[in-house]
Amino acid sequence: MDASDINRSLVSELKAMGFSEVQATKALCSSGNSSLEAAVNWIVDHEDEAYNDEMPMVSVDIIETPAPTFDSEQAKLKAQELRERARKRREEEEKKLDKEREKERIRAGKEWLATKRMAEENERKRFEAQRKTEKEEERRARERIRQKLQQDMADRRARLGSSLNSGTSLKSIKTSEPETKNPLKVDSAALSGNLITKKEVLMECLRSLRRQHKEEDMKVQRAFKTLLVYVRNIVSNPDEGRFRKILLRNPAFQARVGIFKESMQFLELCGFERAEEGDFLVLRSDKVDMALLRSAGMVLHTAITNPFFGLLSK
């Protein structure tokens, strides 16, 4: 602590107010030895601090002033007054500081909200831009699919036209009433061509099924899936006779496949025939054509997975 000249009169007045000499001396040293009020204010501001008995270092030339003219009671009242004034000053300073802190909190809150809103707005714009890009990509993808389907349809028509010119007839795959003895009878010429022609005949049979029963899409899809199960079982187990024999009066078969003439015709195109006893469809072992059955499986898979299958062609 720097040494300073201490006003002994002020020390005496502070002691008369009830403060110790150490408190009075420290207060005067710290407050500039200027006034009694400043010393009391310092004591009030530091009243929570622990005082020790060490006297601060001061110069020997202590200022002498006349002794205080008021008695101890007046000194105590004066001290109380100064304490009260110091307390009010501290309260006002605390209130002012609280207001400043509240203003700072509000300002920081507004800045945070503005930053948050800006981030949300940027995120919204980014999402809208991304969604717009995705929609444009979806539109382009749909357009590519549409063009591809149209091109495939044109190619199929061209190939089928060539096949018809060479004598292959597709009349056999159009829906017709089954004959009394063999409801699955089709023109054998449809299967006399190469594998591509056979695949096209199978494809056209399924397209006809989809077009003729487009209002029963769920039943048509169920028929496609059931036919695919039959074909896959035979391809996976060609020597298993039980997979090459279908009971016609089976309720599940009738509900899934037998209700459509086109699906029955598809089975005949795959090589199934009505057995002599008339209750079964049978694919004889010598009639198993693995290449044809694999083509049938591919055609069925296309019919199941392509939502536009059979709906764009006429």
Residue 150 — pLDDT band, cuts 50, 70, 90? Answer: confident
Q: What are phi and psi of 36, to 5 degrees?
A: -65, -40
Residue 192 pLDDT more than 80? Answer: no
Of 145-154, 264-273, 285-294, 300-309, the one with minimum mean pLDDT is 145-154
Q: Mean pLDDT across the chain, nearest whole number?
A: 78
Contact 199, 301 (CB under 8 A): no
CA dist 219 → 201, 216, 224, 256 (Å) = 22, 6, 9, 7
Residue 55 pLDDT more than 60? Answer: no
Distance, in Å, from the CA atom of 85 to the CA atom of 108, rounded to the nearest integer, reads 34
Of 29-33, 122-126, 135-139, 162-166, the one with minimum mean pLDDT is 162-166
What's residue 88's pLDDT?
A: 85
Pairing of strands 280-282, 273-274: antiparallel
List domains and CATH numbers for the chain.
8-97 (no CATH), 168-305 (1.20.58.2190)
What's residue 221's pLDDT?
A: 93
Name the DSSP letter for residue 287.
G
Tokens 């006349």, located at residue? 66
Residue 230 pLDDT more than 90? Answer: yes
What's residue 152's pLDDT?
A: 81
Tokens at residue 169, please?
A: 């007839």
What's residue 176's pLDDT?
A: 41
Share of the chain above pLDDT 90, in %: 29
Distance, in Å, from the CA atom of 10 to the CA atom of 97, rounded to the nearest integer, reads 32
Q: Which of 53-57, 99-103, 176-180, 229-233 has the highest mean pLDDT?
A: 229-233
Helix residue ranges per DSSP H, 166-194 = none
Of 217 and 17, more confident: 217
Whole-prediction pTM value? 0.41
| Closest listed residue to residue 285, CA positions, set 237, 241, 229, 251 | 241
Residue 81 pLDDT more than 90? Answer: no
What's residue 308's pLDDT?
A: 83
What's residue 167's pLDDT?
A: 47
Residue 273 pLDDT more than 60? Answer: yes
pLDDT, tens digit, for every residue of 136-146?
Answer: 888 888 888 88
